[in-house]
Copies of this chain bind each other. A is one copy, B any other.
Amino acid sequence: MDPHGIRAVYRLRVAAEDAPRRARVLALEQSIEMPAEAVLDAGVLERVAARVERIEALADGSSLARIALAAESVGEEPGQLLNMLFGNSSLLPDVELVDVDVPEALAHRFGGPNLGIEGLRSLVGVIGRPLTCTALKPIGSTPGQLAALCRTFAAAGIDVIKDDHGWADQASAPFAQRVAACQAAVDEVNAARNGTVTLYAPSLFGTCTQMLRQIELARARGVRIALIAPMVCGVATLNGLRREHPDFAFIAHPSLAGVGRIAPAALLGRLFRLFGADAVIFPNHGGRFTYAREVCLAIAQASRAAWHGLKPALPVPAGGMSVERVPELKREYGDNCMLLIGGSLLAAREKLYERSREFVEAVARTETPADA
């Protein structure tokens, strides 16, 4: 195995003639974090210091630097991989992390999605179309109000009902009561229905220790999937949970992940999947957020591409989507995605069931090709 098998591509926004020097400095910053001449043990320098493999000047004046990092420096720890990829360089405004790859052995050590796309499809019993997803809002609601939303959404046939990522253990609906009420509401609808199954995905919060307790509690109620924000709780936590609960599924939320200088496809598409996300929510173009279309397509591509034998993760375009955009979303992302519409369904107020049905039917409908 190549001991320097972790590859990172950085964009350096520096003058092209300065790029080689900056790349060398970056390679040291992201590995031994000291000047090469201060290293007494030549073996360490050889084995551990990162190496600049290639520098490419781009038309926009920036440069791409490909740097090889030693797997030894990561030691099989997810947080440490992030540390080595972008820990200190996050403090440098002219450096962006553009792409990343890891050796197959390390990929298998982290393990990727537990269930992946096929596993999620089996859970809900859906093939041949995108999955549908919505969110329980607003914070401040009671378990009874949330359960009522669950019944409506489930009756309309939505596949996955997730907590808003803002749900933790707020007094209006503490985790244990919320999960009991919402899962019971979903169970009731599922019991009366043939075919597909609606899943409820509660939001995990706090430390790994707390989240393990939350999963235990939720499992006891029949929950099989949860929402987690890896940049808030730490990527090691996601990876630790997937390992402890190998039949459980995780939807990754991008909270705090758009902090600028890690390319979304690398962070959400590759790293979240690597650490165990079965589905990856991202802010789709044309909604409340500003990711460009090509950025969104790159996230979807990275989450589904063949990669070291890891299961693919389901891309989940979200963030201000509407029923009207379903045909476009299906054309853009194909069948292997999950469409998430939250606030725009709730805006129908007393027509929530009807609007949710429109969502479900729009997703199920066989489209006439756009150019027909």
Q: Is the CB of B260 within 8 A of A138?
A: no
Closest to A234 in B: B234
The residues in A between 210 and 237 inclusive whose CB is less than 8 angstroms from any CB of B are: 210, 212, 229, 232-237
Partner of A138, one of B39, B78, B80, B140: B39
Residues of B within 8 A of A166 (CB): 31-33, 73, 80, 83-84, 87
Q: Is the CB of B32 within 8 A of A137?
A: yes
Residues of B within 8 A of A306 (CB): none
Q: Is the CB of B206 within 8 A of A236?
A: yes
Q: Is the CB of B170 within 8 A of A75?
A: yes
Q: Is the CB of A91 within 8 A of B33?
A: no
Residues of B within 8 A of A119 (CB): none
Contact of A357 with B by CB under 8 A:
no
The residues in A between 1 and 53 inclusive whose CB is less than 8 angstroms from any CB of B are: 25, 29, 31-35, 37-41, 43-45, 47-49
Copies of this chain present in the complex amount to: 2
Contact of A370 with B by CB under 8 A:
no
The residues in A between 63 and 108 inclusive whose CB is less than 8 angstroms from any CB of B are: 70, 72-80, 82-84, 86-88, 90-93
Residues of B within 8 A of A34 (CB): 137-138, 342-343, 346-347
Q: Which of A38, A43, A165, A210 has the most CB of B within 10 A?
A: A38
Known: A33-B164, A72-B140, A347-B35. A240 touches B79 (CB 8 A): no
Contact of A126 with B by CB under 8 A:
no
CA A46 to CA B44, docked complex, whole Å: 60
Contact of A327 with B by CB under 8 A:
no
Interface residues on A, range: 35 or more
Contact of A349 with B by CB under 8 A:
yes
Smallest CB separation, A50 vs chain B (Å): 11
Q: Is the CB of A83 within 8 A of B165?
A: yes
Known: A73-B170, A233-B236. A93 touches B260 (CB 8 A): yes
Smallest CB separation, A30 vs chain B (Å): 9
CA A88 to CA B289, docked complex, whole Å: 9
The residues in A between 255 and 301 inclusive whose CB is less than 8 angstroms from any CB of B are: 255-262, 283, 288-291
Residues of A within 8 A of B (CB): 25, 29, 31-35, 37-41, 43-45, 47-49, 70, 72-80, 82-84, 86-88, 90-93, 135, 137-141, 145, 164-166, 168-172, 205-210, 212, 229, 232-237, 240, 254-262, 283, 288-291, 319, 342-343, 346-347, 349
